[in-house]
Amino acid sequence: MKDLTPQEMLRIDLHPPKTPWMDIPVKIKPGVYCYPAKPEKLEVVGMPHPHKWSPLDDDWGLPEDWKEIVLNGMRERLEKYRSFKIFMDICVRCGACADKCHFFLGSGDPKNMPVVRAELIRSVYRGEFTRAGRILGRLAGGRKLTEDVLKEIWYYMFQCTECRRCSLFCPYGIDTAEVTIIGRELINLLGLNINWIQEPVANCYETGNHLGLLPHTFKQNIEFMCMDIEEFVGIKIDPPFNRKGAEILFVTPSGDIFADPGIYTLSGYLMLFEHLGLDYTWSTYACEGGNFGFFTSMEMAQRLNAKIYHEAKRLGVKWILGGECGHMWRVVHQYMATFNGPADFLEEPVSPITGTKFENAKSTKMVHISEFTADLIKHNKLKLDKSRNDHLKVTFHDSCNPSRGMGMFEEPRYIIKNVCNNFYEMPENTIREQTFCCGSGAGLNAGENMEIRLRGGLPRANAVKYVHERFGVNMLACVCAIDRAVLPASMSYWVPEVKVAGVSELVGNALIMEGENERSVDLRGEPIPGRGEEEVSEDV
Amino acid sequence: MARGGIDQLIGILTEQKGSIVEKWIQKIHETYPPETANFFRKERNKFANPVGSTIQEAAGPIIEELLEPRDSEVFYKHLDSLIRVRAVQDFTAYAALSIFFALKGAIRDIVGKQVRREGLEWALLEFESRVDRMTLLAFDIFMQCREKVWEIKRDDLLKRPFVLSGGMCASYMVRRGQKHLKKAKGSNNPSLN
Ligand code: SF4
Ligand code: SF4
């Protein structure tokens, strides 16, 4: 601590104060907060009050009537969302949720207890909107909205990944993730979004995907992976783009098109579709399954989601197949049909290979790639050589959204067990509904907040470490692009021996394709042990 | 200082090991806010309480190794797990490492009176220098952890779309490039040697 004199150093007390949370002022720290949104990225989508500011400054450049804006926004949402009003009213502060959040568990900061996180906003609700709170103030758990309170809310709304683990344990079903969602909406009324969310939103609006890949780059990156496949597998693939009249539109998060190791999951998709001779198409317009709008406001989520149905209509496809993504599936499963449906120009999805009707997708017309692949395996439509994955000892991380958000637990496990011989589950209280978040979801996968990401990633990593030490697990499989982007960082800090892969990558490795090479390398171009090509010495 | 003194002290410390471990754990917990400390102490499930269980699992073996050095790898592993957590939590470097000085306090709290009664003050000082050496080692580990965090931040940057818009992620390109280089080298391409 550079600002301590040697004398002060001698007097230092290392014990934190025993003060109630409301009296501990917020201290915004590097490594925890994300950089503010660039004004031009707010302007692109017409969001209010774009301005330059820094979380470390005293003056955040708020509009003069900021307090009124927030309180009006809150009033409006209390009327509009019954759930929000209920969540504000009924918490009995029983504490059942308190120790369930990965950010509390990893950081030890009591303000990361879900009950306190919600209380940051609830105290303002009481202090500004309820009679008891207005009169009794602190005695009734209320406080007024001040700049410091706003800063505190901002700081902690961006330390919640909206994972909903806490809600699983609340006897009243209070969903703190929804409180965070509203909290972020209020923050956005003042132009205080973080750039890591806002830039993808603006990109998605302008180019169709978070990364801002232009159509030719999007296409070129997919072709890149086709070149890899040709080299490693010996199969030439010429994927279809923007093809009108295809039966199926395939949409996946753009992380799969751009970033290592998601791109190997992309190879898996490409090979599977080629092998099946699937009548499908990619779109360079609806080229993002993810939806950072969902981390901004409901309205933005709706706007960005709309392009998927528009494109499906324009291309005249029958139904939509979706890739491995987390929050994309929460949006599809819980909101898409009401946001932008009914999609009655589409048909109820039927697998052209097995004839299976995906009745669960009747309303959205969108099927998850794991459901599709599991069905193929179940009907013996894939020839698989599991032994190609024998050097891998695999465990599966349930991503928060596909598990808690849509209830998908079995399909990925079924696939993994059919393409790998070595599969080990992590402890029960860390998987399925109770899964721990990767620690970087809901738009918090930036680089500048790495300390909080690593804190939040600890509970998941702790369980991975256990199966690594006990069974020698060396591969963490998942069905989410954010997981693939962030778990490698978390693993390299907590359990460096464990790598990360999408389930479809493991499928691609095991898939026996007609006319393929003798496989000596995997989809990453790395030698498969015992299959000929050994690693050339590392010292380049 | 006669050899007997330190042996006698180690005997006393070994006898009181359970209480010392407990006291040290309590002092580590106290570096967190009270409600957090309470949770770290109470929740016994390893997976529901990763920080608390890391402290719980590391403290005993570390003290055992100090009393009777046996397996330096085990010692290092436990030190690492303890520091790795604190290196990314909301602590300054001195606060993160203060727990090793707290161990001295824990020992004095438990056996201080007996040490004085039996005239073993010098032996205690000698033992405390073992704790100091461990603290230096801990400092090394702390720095490695911090450097690792920066390394991760750097690698993360390579995967950022905004750095290299309009192409493939840099980390993939670097890996691809290296692979081709390695292959070419393997085939003895003279231009690369
Ligand atoms: S939704 Fe997840 S991140 Fe947010 S408070 Fe609940 S457990 Fe924590
Ligand atoms: S479990 Fe539910 S009622 Fe209990 S403190 Fe948490 S949010 Fe409130």
pLDDT band (50, 70, 90) for residue B125: very high
pLDDT by residue (tens digit) across A413-460?
Answer: 999 999 999 999 999 999 999 999 999 999 999 999 999 999 999 999
> In one letter, which amino acid is A335?
Y
Distance A174 CA to ligand 1 centre (A): 11
CA distance linking residue A480 with residue A423, whole number of Å: 19
Model pLDDT for residues A93-129, shown as the tens digit of each residue: 999 999 999 999 999 999 999 999 999 999 999 999 9
CA angle A512/A517/A519 to nearest 5° reads 70
Does A482 share its domain with A402?
yes
Burial A194-223 (b: 16+ CB within 10 A, else e): bbbbbbbbbbbbebbbbbbbbbebbbebbe
Q: Which domain holds residue A171?
A: 6-30+48-192
A106 contact B CB<8A: yes
B24 touches chain A (CB under 8 A): no
Which among A87, A91, A103 is the best mutation to test ligand 1's pocket, defined by most ligand atoms within 8 Å of the CB?
A: A103
Determine how β-strand A394-396 pairs with β-strand A319-322: unpaired
Instruction: Mark whether A406 and A367 lie in a shared domain.
Output: no
Give residue A407 CA to ligand 1 midpoint distance, Å.
Answer: 18
For residues A508 and A232, the answer to whether their CB atoms sit within 8 Å is no
Closest in A98, A448, A493 to B148, CB measured: A493
Looking at the CA of A400, which ligand is closest? 1
pLDDT digits (tens, 9 = 90+) for A481-520: 999 999 999 999 999 999 999 999 999 999 999 999 999 9
Nearest to A305 by CA among A297, B137, B74, A319: A297
Task: Reply yes or no on whether the pLDDT at B165 is more than 70.
Answer: no
pLDDT of residue B184: 57
Whether B193 has a pLDDT exceeding 80, the answer reads no
Disruptive mutation site among A15, A33, A168, A206 for chain B (greatest number of B CBs within 10 Å): A15
Same domain (yes/no): A187, A252:
no
> Is B44 an interface residue toward A (CB < 8 Å)?
no
Q: Are residues A324 and A404 in the same domain?
A: no
**Residue B36 is nearest to which of A12, A108, A429, comparing CB atoms?**
A108
Q: Which residues of chain B are within 8 Å of residue A430 when distances are taken between CB atoms?
A: 47
Same domain? A18 vs A55: yes
Same domain, A282 and A188: no
In a domain, A535, yes or no: no
Structural domain tally of chain A? Answer: 3
Residue A314 tokens read as 């324009």
Position A539 in a domain: no
A334 and A352 belong to one structural domain: yes
Residue A101 CB less than 6 A away from ligand 1: yes
Q: Is residue A39 part of a domain?
A: no
Boundary-marking domain end, from A378, A405, A421? A378
* Residues of B whose CB is below 8 A from A495: none
User: Are residues A160 and A231 both part of a single domain?
Assistant: no
- Residues A298-317 have pLDDT tens digits of 999 999 999 999 999 999 99
Question: Nearest C-alpha of chain A: how many angstroms from B17?
Answer: 24
Do residues A176 and A114 make contact, with C-beta atoms less than 8 angstroms apart? Answer: yes
In angstroms, the CA A181 to CA A292 distance is: 12
Instruction: Say yes or no for a CB contact (<8 Å) between A16 and B32.
Output: yes
> What sign for the dihedral angle of Cα A230, A528, A505, A285?
negative
Looking at residue B189, what is its pLDDT?
40
- Top residue of B146, B169, B173, B193 to mutate, by most chain A CBs within 10 Å, is B169
Starting from the CA of residue A157, give the closest ligand.
Answer: 1
CATH code of A242's domain: 1.20.1050
SS3 assignment, position A476? strand
The pLDDT confidence band at residue B192, using thresholds 50, 70 and 90, is very low
Prediction ipTM score? 0.92
Q: Is A207 in the same domain as A333?
A: yes
B177 — pLDDT class (breaks 50, 70, 90): low
CATH number, residue A480: 3.40.50
- H or E segment to which residue A249 belongs: strand A248-251
Q: Is A170 in the pocket of ligand 2 (CB under 6 A)?
A: yes
The H or E element containing residue A374 is: helix A369-378
Tokens encoding A435: 């899964």
Chain B nearest-CA distance from A505, in A, is 16
Same domain, A156 and A289: no
Task: Report DSSP letters for B133-146, one per residue.
Answer: HHHHHHHHHHHHHH
| Domain match, A209 and A280 both | yes
Under an 8 A CB cutoff, do B159 and A485 touch?
yes
Q: Is residue A306 part of a domain?
A: yes
- In ligand 2, the atom with minimum distance to the C-alpha of A92 is 3
Run of H or E residues at A129: helix A114-129
Work out how many CB contacts closer than 8 A connect A with B: 141
Distance from the Cα of A110 to chain B's closest Cα (Å) equals 7
Query: pLDDT 10s per residue in chain A (540 long)?
Result: 455 676 766 666 667 777 888 888 899 999 999 999 999 999 999 999 999 999 999 999 999 999 999 999 999 999 999 999 999 999 999 999 999 999 999 999 999 999 999 999 999 999 999 988 888 888 888 999 999 999 999 999 999 999 999 999 999 999 999 999 999 999 999 999 999 999 999 999 999 999 888 899 899 999 999 999 999 999 999 999 999 999 999 999 999 998 889 999 999 999 999 999 999 999 999 999 999 999 999 999 999 999 999 999 999 999 999 999 999 999 989 999 999 999 999 999 999 999 999 999 999 999 999 999 999 999 999 999 999 999 999 999 999 999 998 899 999 999 999 999 999 999 999 999 999 999 999 999 999 999 999 999 999 999 999 999 999 999 999 999 999 999 999 999 999 999 999 999 999 999 999 999 999 999 999 999 988 765 544 443
pLDDT at A12: 64
Determine the Cα–Cα distance for residues B102 and A12; give it in Å rounded to an integer.
Answer: 13
Q: Report how far apart, in Å, the C-alpha atoms of B7 and of each of A442, B2, B119 are.
A: 57, 9, 13
A206 and A338 part of one domain: yes
Give the residue whose CA is nearest to atom 5 of ligand 2: A93
